[in-house]
Amino acid sequence: MLTTSEHTKFATLFFVQNLPRGLLLSVIPISALSILGDAQRISTLFFVVSLGGILAALGMPMIIRTVGNYRAFLLSGAMMLLSLALLSISDPFYFSAGLFCHIFSIASVDVSLTLYMLARVPRSELTKFDPLRACFTVLALTIGPFSGMWLAANISHQAPFILSACFVLLSITYFRKLKLHQVVIPKSDSLNENPYRYLLAFMKQPRLRLAYGLVCARSSWWLMFVVYTPIYIVQIGLGELVAAAAVSLGSAWTLSVPFWGWVGRKYGVRTVLMSGFISASMLTMLVFSFSSLPTITVVLLIFSALGTTMLDGVANVLFYRAVKRKERSEMSAVFVTYRDVGNLAAPGLFAVLLKFFALPVVFFSASVWMLVGAWHCRYIPKQMK
């Protein structure tokens, strides 16, 4: 059993490792708007490059089997450094390539760190550790958006990219300080190396399918929030710093993630997830309804993130409880594609809708799929805590 101090030290790694991503959370969509010109083109770009994230995640078990999980973690860091160099160039080609590398890095490091977490944290402690991990992760995604945009506006365009590179190197240093490179990851021998085979094995397990579908809905909502909120705010004339501040304030609700983890342990995972999906759906629909009133819309957007934050506290627990020990590598590789599938599905849908409707249609769409998520929460066992 790990002590509270050990939990905190390990969770701190997720904070440091996510700071580069957090610093660019608002910089990337606003830079994309400047380079590409409109939300429809941005949606198409995110749709295309998200395929890279899916390929990265599904290919990770083979990479880990070949070079080991530690070297796979280092590879993810190298890809992030490359993405920072490319994204800092205001050119459509280099920006697109950089975004591809950025998403590839995020997907691959998720697989690596998930395996380390499942190897280091006892199964009985996952419902305690995961909310702490989520809190530290989103703390980085909370302070990052405004900080990154402030640096770009007041120091230089390259400043957030340089600082992000420093944090990538710091995360690798801290990883070694925790001696995670010495942790032995159990080899999976139950499945074929062919990604199609373990993808098929994943989809045959109802509990894994349910966990995956719900986190995809959650991830798609956050994608909508961090990409289209700043675009909407800039387009209505409130400015880039207001846009970044709105993303940071909305993300700040995730500081309550440990509380929602406690609620899940006390009242059940199903109760928290159903409440979160319904709250997010209703508030996002209000955003759509008041989209002609900019100030009210921004406030509603910030509060709508609270419902999705409830999901962050317990949603991944469904997967951790369902995955078999000998299938962790392959099943984790499939599971972490939820972010990339969300990044693929939402922009793909928006790319079509934005050809015919104004930008607020993205809020209406997000409200609908969150309501569908609430409906599927009926299949979660009532006794799960």
Rounded CA Rg of the chain: 19
Instruction: State the Cα torsion 309-311-317-320 to the nearest 10°.
Output: -90
Percent of the chain with pLDDT over 70: 92
Residue 228 — very low, low, confident or very high, per pLDDT cuts 50/70/90? confident
Q: Which of 92, 85, 233 is nearest to 165 (CA)?
A: 85
The Cα–Cα gap between 332 and 102 comes to 20
Q: Which of 215, 267, 289, 244 is nearest to 383 (CA)?
A: 267
Q: What is the pLDDT of residue 162?
A: 94
Q: Which of 98, 38, 367, 93 is nearest to 231 (CA)?
A: 38
Distances (CA, A) of 45 to 52, 106, 210: 12, 17, 28
Structural domain of residue 291, as residue ranges? 13-183+196-379
Average pLDDT value for residue range 184-206: 68
Q: What is the pLDDT of residue 128?
A: 74
Residue 242 lies in a domain: yes
**SS3 state at 307:** helix
Residue 1 lies in a domain: no
Q: What is the pLDDT of residue 173?
A: 93
Residue 321 lies in a domain: yes
**337 with 310: CB under 8 angstroms?**
no
Note the pLDDT tens digit of each residue in 275-287.
Answer: 999 999 999 999 8
Residue 190 lies in a domain: no
* DSSP symbols for 137-164: HHHHHHHHHHHHHHHHHHT-TTHHHHHH
Other residues' Cβ atoms within 10 Å of the Cβ of residue 185:
18
Average pLDDT value for residue range 344-362: 84
Domain of residue 59, CATH code: 1.20.1250.20
Least confident piece of the model among 165-174, 226-235, 303-312, 317-326: 317-326
Q: Which residues contact 23 (CB under 8 A, 6 or more apart)?
A: 144, 145, 147, 148, 151, 160, 163, 164, 167
Residue 127 lies in a domain: yes
Q: What is the pLDDT of residue 166?
A: 94
What are φ and ψ of residue 183, in 5° steps? -70, 130
- Whether residue 40 has pLDDT greater than 80: no
Residue 187 — very low, low, confident or very high, per pLDDT cuts 50/70/90? low
**359 with 228: CB under 8 angstroms?**
yes
Query: What would the two tokens of residue 78 be?
Result: 């190298």
- Whether residue 372 has pLDDT greater than 90: yes
Instruction: Give the chain's domain count.
Output: 1
Query: What would the two tokens of residue 141 be?
Result: 């995604």
Average pLDDT value for residue range 318-323: 78
Residue 203 lies in a domain: yes
The Cα–Cα gap between 133 and 297 comes to 30
Tokens 């705010």 sit on residue: 233
The Cα–Cα gap between 20 and 148 comes to 9
Query: What would the two tokens of residue 159 be?
Result: 């400043």
Distances (CA, A) of 228 to 301, 350, 374: 11, 10, 23
**193 with 65: CB under 8 angstroms?**
yes
Note the pLDDT tens digit of each residue in 79-117.
Answer: 999 999 999 888 888 988 898 888 888 878 887 888 888
- Helix and strand element counts for the chain (H, E): 17, 0
Query: What would the two tokens of residue 83 be?
Result: 């993405």
Residue 6 lies in a domain: no
Query: What would the two tokens of residue 273 be?
Result: 């997830």
Note the pLDDT tens digit of each residue in 199-217.
Answer: 788 888 888 888 898 988 9
Residue 363 — very low, low, confident or very high, per pLDDT cuts 50/70/90? very high
Note the pLDDT tens digit of each residue in 139-185.
Answer: 887 787 788 888 988 898 889 999 999 999 999 999 999 888 777 66
The DSSP call for residue 186 is P
Residue 255 — very low, low, confident or very high, per pLDDT cuts 50/70/90? confident
- Whether residue 22 has pLDDT greater than 90: no
**384 with 225: CB under 8 angstroms?**
no
Higher pLDDT, 47 or 92: 92
Q: At what angle do helices 206-235 and 294-312 cross, to 10 degrees?
A: 160
Instruction: Tell me what the pLDDT averaged over the chain comes to.
Output: 82
Residue 5 lies in a domain: no
Q: What is the pLDDT of residue 356?
A: 86
- Whether residue 256 has pLDDT greater than 90: no
Query: What would the two tokens of residue 271 be?
Result: 């109760």
Q: Which of 139, 161, 143, 140 is nearest to 28 (CA)?
A: 161
Average pLDDT value for residue range 109-128: 78
Q: Which residues contact 109 (CB under 8 A, 6 or more apart)?
A: 17, 73, 76, 77, 80
Q: What is the pLDDT of residue 314?
A: 76
Q: Which of 308, 259, 317 is nearest to 287 (CA)?
A: 308
Query: What would the two tokens of residue 357 be?
Result: 């409707």
